[in-house]
């Protein structure tokens, strides 16, 4: 066990989250968007665990497990969709895929 | 005998009912007979009633016939009854007499027009309403008759409704008099609620006992009643409708807009003179309005081209004389002038009608001329009436009635002489424009040729009317010319006549001489300007100021223009604004706002998910900023 | 121990940054795996051994591999132009900086908190999973089922004689 302050753990989570956010905003490839999303989810889980370690409770890790399950399901479905999109329109550029407008 | 008086308005009312329902199916002669006989019967009954009223053998109470209960509102019960006294009897006789002659005249005048039955129906309704007005014993019933004559005026001015200008003139008449009518009903209701009764006699006695002179109630009520009278009698500021009302058939102009309806205001004020005596400021206002109107209308009459418009302005001017008389408390003199005016003005109009008819609907006097040779009878009767209107002694009724008014005005207190001076100027103007008309229409070179001679039905009324136009003056003559007091004794049965004493002994003679000189001066001026074409007249007109003045007077001193700018235009603008339903703007605005918001928001939805993600991040940043800063 | 946390944290951040900015997808994926391993070390350092193992086995081991499969199937080419162009990102970059600052402020407002002295044992986690959080576990399994079925259906592709 470390004596690094919880704050710094949370800061690490925040930094990772922002990196993931930057990836979502900046990349022009849906696959990279999904990847960055994974990074963000990971960061959120990290934050949960670090916070729970302060109180010495297992709830944080339970939450981490749930987030993991969600991320897995979402990655699976998302990748299936990406395959479909690639088949249909041949491009994975989100800026090109903008027919759902109103 | 007097109890038969309910028949007087009943006959023409029945005539209206028959003609309005069956008129289209009846033949022309049948319509004529129906229409004329109902008024004839009414006239006969009036004569009988008058004989009964005046007969010295029978007791002579002020007779009231209660007919039925009209309304009952809590403690206020309004009856439907008729009241006869010398004032209403005078009006009844004039209305039925002149009315009958005009009906007779109309049978021939309107024979070539369509809508014959409709015409007589309206005319009968008018007579019935007018009679109801003057015979009413309560103010609300009077108002019923008042509205009735207004309605008939509208219907008859716009008789030839296919021509839009006629309908506009009718509407104008109705709207302008409506303004007065509204004031009138407010005044009536004020009197009802404050004095607790609508019966005129009761009202007047309660007013004189309960209201101190000059009290606000009296002033308010009198002012409102005055406003109503101004509208109906076409005095300033509500006089603009009468010249345009000449769009109706000439007999209509003769009956309604010369002899009877326009005198309803005079009747009202004369009837309620007790109330006006309690509000001296309002009464003085009546005099001022009368004086102003008679001068303004005189100038306008002298510059018109249309023969009927000359006579219309002349009517306004003569009623101004009646108002002037009422304003100085000389209501008997006003009533006398009403009598003489009805005779000679109706005669003038009927004569003008014959001329118009025989010249093929020509109204412009500058296209007439030299008609004295072709239409001698018309000329003779017209001249009689003209002399009467110009008040030229000794054989003209107008002279005696006007003189009585002037005598009363002069002796009416501190402002008397000024008003008298104005009235004198009015006399000059009157004879000026009257004889301008005579000289241009009847003398001078012939410009249009009349088509044949008028028939008996047209000429008999002219002759019959010429008699009282000349001789009716002898009912009341000044002291030095016979001192006949028939009229004042007759009218005194309604209320005592208090004639002012002359300020100086020789005053009466002096006044007569001056007014005589004034009327002769007017004739002389007319002769010089219009017969001899004196250079002065033409020179004055060639100046730009002269031409401007001429146009100004022609347009009736610009009242129409004034009302157009200040009343009509803003009203039309307002009605457009309100007509676009401003209250709906709120609700429509909500809907429009939703649509606009929708359009704006749908711009954001462009289907690019990176933008959406950026939006989410932005929102998160903002919320966190709130957390951080607060 | 503290030094390891710092170093692994730095490694995690740097490698995820790299993962986000690579032009080749597989390179990015590899960098990401490294980053996840770094996070696992941090998790372990904070006394969450169970979470650390889950991180390595499932996240780095299953989900990333899934990504790899799909990349192979798509046979993605190296992106020609730079992943990020300066002009296009100035707005979002600003946004990210703002967020970063705010997060830092929020997280450092509280007084300094050291982690608890003892680690949380896997037994504790297990008994809470089977105890109070049993329903949540069931829900998570349903979610996974949905994910499986959905991914199967969506990724199937259109069959030749499927009319509509």
Contacts of B450 (CB under 8 A, 6+ apart): B355, B358, B359, B371, B374, B375
Co-location of B301 and B379 in the same domain: yes
Q: Do B602 and A102 touch (CB under 8 A)?
A: yes
B429 and B322: one domain? yes
pLDDT per residue as tens digits for the range B16-49:
998 888 877 878 888 888 888 999 999 998 888 8
Residue B273 lies in a domain: no
Contact B617 C103 (CB under 8 A): no
Question: Which residues of chain A does C147 touch, with a Cβ-Cβ cutoff of 8 Å?
Answer: 72-74, 76-77
Whole-model pTM: value is 0.71
Domain that holds residue A71: 29-89
Q: Name which of A95, A99, A100 is nearest B610 (Cβ-Cβ).
A: A95
DSSP conformational letter for B6 = G
Both C55 and C129 in a single domain?
Answer: no
Question: Could you tell me the end-to-end alpha-carbon distance of chain C, in angstroms, rounded to an integer?
Answer: 61
| Spatial distance between the Cα atoms of A29 and C25, rounded to a whole number of angstroms | 10
| Spatial separation of the C-alpha atoms in residues B86 and B327, rounded to whole Å | 21
DSSP string of chain C, one letter each residue: -HHHHHHHHHHHHHHHHHHHH-SSHHHHHHHHHHHHHHHHHHHHHTTBHHHHHHIIIIIIIIIHHHHHHHHHHHTPPPPSS-S--HHHHHHHHHHHHHHHHHHHHHHHSSPP-PPPSSPBPHHHHHHHHHTTTHHHHHHHHHHHHHHHHHHHHHTS---TT---
Q: What is the pLDDT of residue B262?
A: 87
Cα of first residue to Cα of last residue in chain B, in angstroms, is 102
In a domain, A21, yes or no: no
Helix axes B264-271, B216-232, angle to 10 degrees: 160
Q: What is the pLDDT of residue A67?
A: 96
Q: What is the pLDDT of residues C31-57, one digit of tens each?
A: 999 999 999 999 999 889 999 999 999
Give residue B368's pLDDT: 83
The reply to whether C8 and C42 lie within a common domain is yes
Question: Would residue C163 count as lying in a domain?
Answer: no
Peptide bond into B237 cis (omega under 30): yes
Q: Which of B339, B367, B206 is nearest to B270 (CA)?
A: B339
Same domain, B529 and B585: no
Q: How many CB atoms lie within 10 A of CB B458?
A: 24
Residue B433 lies in a domain: yes
List, for residues B457-472, the tens digit of each pLDDT value: 788 888 888 888 778 7
Residues B568-595: tens digit of each pLDDT? 889 999 888 888 888 888 888 899 999 9
Question: DSSP 3-state assignment of B584?
Answer: helix
Q: Are both C74 and C41 inside the same structural domain?
A: yes
Query: Cα–Cα distances in Å, from B107 out to B127, B184, B343, C32?
Result: 16, 35, 20, 115
Tell whether B117 is covered by a domain: no
B512 and B625, same structural domain? no
pLDDT digits (tens, 9 = 90+) for B393-438: 777 788 888 888 888 888 887 888 888 889 999 999 999 999 888 8
Predicted local distance difference test score (pLDDT) of residue A98? 80
Nearest residue to B251 (alpha-carbon basis) of B108, B111, B350, B131: B350
Average pLDDT score over chain C: 85
How many residues are recorded in chain A? 102
The verdict on B616 and B498 lying in the same domain is: no
Question: Do residues C39 and C92 both lie within one domain?
Answer: yes
Tell whether the model's pLDDT for residue C84 goes beyond 60: no
In terms of domains, do B506 and B593 share one? no
Distance between CA B524 and CA A14 in Å, rounded? 115
| Contact between A94 and B617 using a beta-carbon 8 Å cutoff | no
My answer on whether C52 and C85 are in the same domain is yes
Do residue A66 and residue C99 have CB atoms under 8 angstroms apart? no
Same domain? C52 vs C69: yes
C160/B209: higher pLDDT: B209
- Are C43 and C88 in the same domain? yes
Vertex B444 angle, CA B439 and B447, to 5°: 115
**What's the number of domains chain B is made of?**
2
Name the more confident of C22 and B493.
C22
Domain, as residue range, for B370 = 287-533
At residue B417, the pLDDT reads 85
B372 and B513 in a common domain: yes
Number of domains in chain C: 2
Over residues B488-493, the mean pLDDT reads: 74
pLDDT band at C149 (very low <50, low <70, confident <90, very high): very high
Give me the pLDDT at residue B200, please. 80
Q: Rounded to whole angstroms, how far apart are CA atoms A63 and A45?
A: 7
**CATH number of the domain that C92 lies in?**
1.20.120.1200
Query: Which pLDDT value is given to residue C60?
Result: 92
Min CA distance, C102 vs chain B (Å)? 6
Residue A49 is assigned to a structural domain of this protein? yes
**Segment B282-301 mean pLDDT:** 92
**Residue numbers of the domain that contains C105:** 2-119
pLDDT at res. B258 = 77
What mean pLDDT do residues B118-135 have?
92
**ipTM field:** 0.90
C111 shares a domain with C58: yes
Question: Which residues of chain A have a CB within 8 Å of the CB of C46?
Answer: 1-2, 4, 9, 49-50, 53
Rg (CA), chain A: 17
Chains contacting A (3 or more CB pairs within 8 Å):
B, C
Percent of chain A's residues with pLDDT above 90? 54
Claim to verify: residue C47 and residue C87 sit in the same structural domain: yes
| A20, A45, A69: residue with CB nearest C140 | A69
Residue A64 lies in a domain: yes
State residue C86's pLDDT score. Answer: 67
Mean pLDDT for all residues in chain B: 85
Nearest-CA distance A1 → chain B (Å): 32
- Residues of C in CB contact (< 8 Å) with B are 91-92, 95-96, 98-99, 102-103, 105-106
- Establish if C164 belongs to a structural domain: no
Long-range contacts, B508-514 (Cβ 8 Å, 24+): B508/B407, B508/B478, B508/B479, B508/B480, B509/B480, B511/B403, B511/B406, B511/B407, B511/B410, B512/B393, B512/B403, B512/B478, B512/B480, B512/B481, B514/B424
* Cis status of the peptide bond prior to C84, with omega within 30 of 0: no
Tell whether the model's pLDDT for residue B293 goes beyond 90: yes
Do C111 and C146 lie in one domain? The reply is no
Nearest to B608 among A21, A33, A94 (CB): A94
Is A43 domain-assigned?
yes
Query: Are residues C47 and C127 part of one domain?
Result: no
Question: Considering its fold, how many domains does chain A have in total?
Answer: 1
Alpha-carbon gap, residue B46 to B48, rounded angstroms: 5
Instruction: Look up the CATH number of the domain holding residue A50.
Output: 1.10.287.3510
Question: What number is the average pLDDT over the span B499-517?
Answer: 75
Does a structural domain hold residue A19?
no
Which of A23, A61, A72 is the best residue to mutate to test the C interface, defined by the most C CB atoms within 10 Å of its own CB?
A61
A84: closest chain C residue by CA: C155
Measured CA to CA, the distance from residue C133 to residue C124 in angstroms comes to 12
β partners of residue B476: B485
Same domain? C76 vs C130: no
């Amino acid at each position: 066990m470390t004596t690094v302050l919880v704050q710094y753990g949370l800061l690490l989570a925040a930094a990772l989250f922002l990196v993931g956010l930057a990836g979502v905003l900046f990349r022009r490839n849906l696959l990279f968007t999904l990847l960055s999303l994974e990074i963000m989810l990971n960061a959120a889980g990290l934050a949960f665990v670090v916070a729970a370690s302060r109180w010495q409770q297992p709830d944080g890790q339970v939450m981490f497990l749930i987030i993991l399950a969600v991320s897995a399901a979402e990655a699976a479905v998302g990748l299936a969709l990406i395959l479909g999109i690639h088949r249909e329109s041949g491009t994975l550029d989100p800026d090109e895929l903008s027919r759902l407008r109103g | 005998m007097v109890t038969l008086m309910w028949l007087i308005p009943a006959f023409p009312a029945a005539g209206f009912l028959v003609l309005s329902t069956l008129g289209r199916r009846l033949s022309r002669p049948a319509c004529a007979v129906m229409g004329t006989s109902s008024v004839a019967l009414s006239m006969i009954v009036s004569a009988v009633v008058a004989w009964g009223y005046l007969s010295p053998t029978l007791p002579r109470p002020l007779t009231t016939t209660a007919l039925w209960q009209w309304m009952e509102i809590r403690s206020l019960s309004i009856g439907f009854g008729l009241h006869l006294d010398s004032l209403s009897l005078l009006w009844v006789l004039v209305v039925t007499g002149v009315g009958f002659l005009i009906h007779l005249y109309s049978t021939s005048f309107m024979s070539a027009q369509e809508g014959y039955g409709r015409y007589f129906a309206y005319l009968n309704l008018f007579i019935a309403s007018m009679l109801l007005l003057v015979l009413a014993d309560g103010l609300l019933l009077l108002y019923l008759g008042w509205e009735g004559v207004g309605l008939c005026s509208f219907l008859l001015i716009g008789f030839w409704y296919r021509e839009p200008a006629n309908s506009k003139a009718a509407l104008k008449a109705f709207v302008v008099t409506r303004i007065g009518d509204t004031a009138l009903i407010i005044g009536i209701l004020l009197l009802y609620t404050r004095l607790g009764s609508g019966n005129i006699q009761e009202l007047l006695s309660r007013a004189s006992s309960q209201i101190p002179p000059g009290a606000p109630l009296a002033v308010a009520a009198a002012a409102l009643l005055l406003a109503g009278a101004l509208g109906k009698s076409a005095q300033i500021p509500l006089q603009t409708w009468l010249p345009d009302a000449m769009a109706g058939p000439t007999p209509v102009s003769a009956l309604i807009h010369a002899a009877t309806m326009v005198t309803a205001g005079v009747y009202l004020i004369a009837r309620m003179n007790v109330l006006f005596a309690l509000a001296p400021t309002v009464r003085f206002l009546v005099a001022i309005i009368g004086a102003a109107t008679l001068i303004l209308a005189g100038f306008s009459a002298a510059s018109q081209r249309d023969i009927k418009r000359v006579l219309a302005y002349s009517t306004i001017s003569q009623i101004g004389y009646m108002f002037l008389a009422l304003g100085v408390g000389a209501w008997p003199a006003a009533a006398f002038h009403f009598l003489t005016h009805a005779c000679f003005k109706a005669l003038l109009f009927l004569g003008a009608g014959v001329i118009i008819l025989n010249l093929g609907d020509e109204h412009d006097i500058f296209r007439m001329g030299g008609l004295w040779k072709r239409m001698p009878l018309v000329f003779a009767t017209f001249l009689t009436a003209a002399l009467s209107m110009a008040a030229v002694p000794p054989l003209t009724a107008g002279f005696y009635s006007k003189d009585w008014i002037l005598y009363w005005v002069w002796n009416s207190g501190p402002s008397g002489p000024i008003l008298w001076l104005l009235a004198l100027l009015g006399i000059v103007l009157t004879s000026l424009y009257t004889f301008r008309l005579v000289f241009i229409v009847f003398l001078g070179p012939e410009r249009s040729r009349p088509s044949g001679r008028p028939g008996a039905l047209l000429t008999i009324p002219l002759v019959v009317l010429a008699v009282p136009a000349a001789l009716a003056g002898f009912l009341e003559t000044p002291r030095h010319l016979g001192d006949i007091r028939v009229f004042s004794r007759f009218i005194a049965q309604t209320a005592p006549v208090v004639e002012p004493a002359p300020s100086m002994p020789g005053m009466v003679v002096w006044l007569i001489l001056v007014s005589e000189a004034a009327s002769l001066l007017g004739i002389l001026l007319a002769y010089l300007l219009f017969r001899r074409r004196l250079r002065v007249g033409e020179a004055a007109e060639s100046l730009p100021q002269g031409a401007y003045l001429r146009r100004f007077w022609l347009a009736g001193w610009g009242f129409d223009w004034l009302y157009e700018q200040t009343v009509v235009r803003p009203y039309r603008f307002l009605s457009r604004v309100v007509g676009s339903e401003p209250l709906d703007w709120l609700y429509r605005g909500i809907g429009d706002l939703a649509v606009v918001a929708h359009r704006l928001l749908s711009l954001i939805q462009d289907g690019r998910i990176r933008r959406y993600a950026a939006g989410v991040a932005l929102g998160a940043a903002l919320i966190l900023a709130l957390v951080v800063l607060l | 121990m503290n030094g390891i946390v710092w170093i692994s944290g730095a490694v995690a951040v740097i490698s995820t940054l790299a993962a986000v900015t690579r032009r080749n997808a597989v390179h990015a994926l590899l960098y990401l795996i490294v980053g996840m391993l770094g996070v696992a070390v941090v998790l372990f350092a904070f006394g969450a051994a169970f979470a650390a193992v889950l991180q390595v086995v499932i996240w780095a081991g299953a989900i990333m591999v899934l990504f790899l499969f799909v990349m192979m199937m798509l046979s993605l080419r190296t992106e020609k132009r730079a992943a990020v162009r300066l002009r296009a990102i100035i707005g979002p970059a600003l946004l990210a900086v703002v967020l970063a600052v705010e997060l830092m402020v929020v997280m450092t407002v509280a007084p300094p908190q050291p982690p608890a002295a003892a680690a949380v044992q896997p037994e504790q986690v297990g008994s809470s999973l089977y105890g109070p959080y049993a329903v949540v576990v069931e829900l998570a399994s349903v979610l996974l089922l949905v994910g499986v079925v959905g991914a199967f259906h969506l990724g199937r592709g259109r069959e030749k004689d499927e009319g509509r």
